[in-house]
């Protein structure tokens, strides 16, 4: 993790000279703009920020950031970023990925980065479709989805990315939405202050192949009843007038939604992202129905856990601190250790 230094940068400083080439109207534009305008807040010089992506529409992202960046190969960004972060603790390393990139071809790398708790900010743009390859169902597409590769409907059960991240022991798990810049930036802010892996699922509209996938969370007519905004330390209520609340019914494992008016105030859950047991955040992640009703956004979980790269560096630094001679001499001693003999 980088310590902050006092430098003054603006949104413009983070825009590269490359022409942005997403489809007009794509949710990626809003995310890019939100990230670019958030970056100055980090207080980290541009040269110490690195964006690493895999393959997919979202993975074009690094080209548009005037920082260091690598557009790598499909699914492998978390692994490459791990190598960078483990050897360069002075950098702020961000991974940009999508639902296909992170959860299908790169699923293994994602879960292992999260379990290790590498210092990476992982932004997963979830549009529930393969965009770059022109519209096949993805590992987050709903069962029955009609796409180019599933003309009579998908028979795959989708992943719930938040549940998956929690199952992989992620220490920081959040969800936000492309169109809500304020919320998106609040999540980025929390992530930037987190030690270890910060996993952020961003619902992103692909207006070409899966348009309107998240409209119920955005339309004034539905959003109040569909969206649950998690706020640390606050009772979990939602609806236009807070008429709904989340409770933990006695005897059950999961959570349920009740009418606030009919619920004892003492039973309304107060959100605490720092609960050590991931079961709580997991239960939150299972609240949404198939039609996205009761979708929580915000910070599900944020707990302290040692970061892998910090631990690795500590071992290296500890070994280095015991050195009493130069590397050449130390190496000569290493070569000559064990059974040696001399020929005169």
Select from 240, 279, 311, 323 the one that contacts another protein (CB under 8 A). Answer: 323
How many other CB atoms are found less than 10 A from the CB of residue 160? 17
Instruction: Pick the stretch among 57-65, 186-194, 247-255, 296-304 that binds another protein (CB under 8 A).
Output: 57-65
User: Does 122 interact with another protein (rule: CB under 8 A)?
Assistant: no
Q: Considering beta carbons, is residue 29 or 63 the nearer one to another protein?
A: 63
Give ∠ CA 241-223-27 in degrees, rounded to 5.
Answer: 145
How far is 255 from 268, CA to CA, in rounded Å? 11
Would you count residue 96 as binding another protein (CB under 8 A)? no
- Select the residue interacting with another protein from 1, 32, 65, 268 (CB under 8 A): 65
How many residues does the structure list for the chain? Answer: 344
By beta-carbon proximity to ligand SF4, the closer residue of 103 and 299 is: 103
Give the nearer residue to another protein in terms of CB position, either 48 or 293.
48
Residue 10 found at the interface with another protein (CB under 8 A)? no
- Give whole-number Cα distances, 217 to 108, 132, 238, in Å: 30, 24, 12
Give me the least distance between CB of 198 and ligand SF4, in Å please.
23
Q: Virtual CA dihedral for 175, 176, 178, 181, nearest 10 degrees?
A: -150
Looking at 69, 131, 158, 196, which residue binds another protein (CB under 8 A)?
69
Query: By C-beta, is 27 or 62 nearer to another protein?
Result: 62
Q: Which one of ligand SF4, another protein, none is in contact with 26 (Cβ closer than 5 to 8 A by kind)?
A: ligand SF4
In 3D space, the residue among 215, 102, 124 whose CA is nearest the CA of residue 175 turns out to be 124
Q: Is 66 in the site for another protein (CB under 8 A)?
A: yes
What span, in angstroms and rounded, lies between the C-alpha atoms of 141 and 164?
Answer: 15
Name residues whose C-beta falls within 8 Å of residue 291's C-beta, 6 or more positions apart in sequence.
Answer: 216
Three-state SS at 237: strand
- 286 near another protein, rule: CB under 8 A: no
Q: DSSP class of residue 250? A: T
Give the residue, chosen from 3, 47, 264, 277, that forms a contact with another protein under the rule CB under 8 A: 47
Q: At what angle do helices 308-321 and 77-87 cross, to 10 degrees?
A: 30
Question: Where do contacts with another protein occur on this chain (CB under 8 A)?
Answer: 16, 18, 45-48, 50, 52, 55, 62-63, 65-73, 76, 79-88, 90-91, 108-109, 112, 312, 315-316, 318-320, 322-323, 327-328, 330-332, 334-336, 338-344
């Amino acid at each position: 993790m980088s310590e902050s230094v006092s430098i003054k940068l603006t949104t413009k400083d983070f825009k590269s000279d490359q022409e942005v080439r997403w489809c007009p109207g794509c949710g990626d534009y809003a995310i890019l703009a939100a990230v670019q305008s958030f970056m100055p807040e980090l207080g980290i010089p541009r040269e110490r920020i690195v964006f690493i992506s895999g393959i997919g529409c979202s993975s074009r992202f690094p080209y548009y950031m005037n920082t260091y960046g690598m557009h790598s190969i499909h699914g492998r960004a978390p692994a490459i970023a791990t190598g960078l972060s483990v050897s360069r603790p002075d950098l702020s390393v961000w991974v940009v990925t999508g639902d296909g990139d992170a959860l299908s071809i790169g699923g293994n790398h994602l879960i292992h980065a999260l379990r290790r708790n590498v210092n990476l900010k992982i932004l997963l743009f979830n549009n529930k479709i393969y965009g770059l390859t022109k519209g096949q169902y993805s590992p987050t597409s709903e069962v029955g989805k009609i796409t180019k590769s599933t003309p009579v409907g998908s028979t795959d059960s989708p992943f719930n990315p938040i549940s998956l991240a929690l199952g992989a022991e992620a220490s920081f798990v959040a969800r936000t939405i492309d169109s809500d810049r304020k919320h998106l930036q609040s999540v980025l802010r929390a992530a930037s202050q987190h030690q270890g892996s910060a996993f952020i699922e961003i619902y992103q509209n692909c207006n070409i192949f899966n348009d309107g996938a998240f409209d119920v969370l955005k339309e004034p007519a539905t959003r109040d009843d569909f969206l649950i905004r998690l706020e640390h330390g606050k009772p979990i209520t939602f609806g236009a007038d807070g008429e709904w609340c989340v409770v933990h019914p006695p005897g059950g494992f999961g959570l349920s939604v009740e009418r606030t008016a009919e619920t004892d105030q003492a039973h309304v859950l107060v959100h605490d992202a720092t609960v050590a047991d991931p079961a709580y955040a997991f239960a939150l992640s299972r609240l949404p129905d198939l039609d996205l009703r009761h979708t929580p956004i915000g910070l599900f979980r944020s707990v302290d856990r040692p970061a892998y790269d910090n631990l690795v560096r500590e071992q290296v630094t500890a070994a280095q601190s015991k050195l009493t001679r130069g590397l050449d001499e130390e190496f000569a001693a290493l070569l000559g250790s064990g059974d040696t003999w001399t020929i005169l």
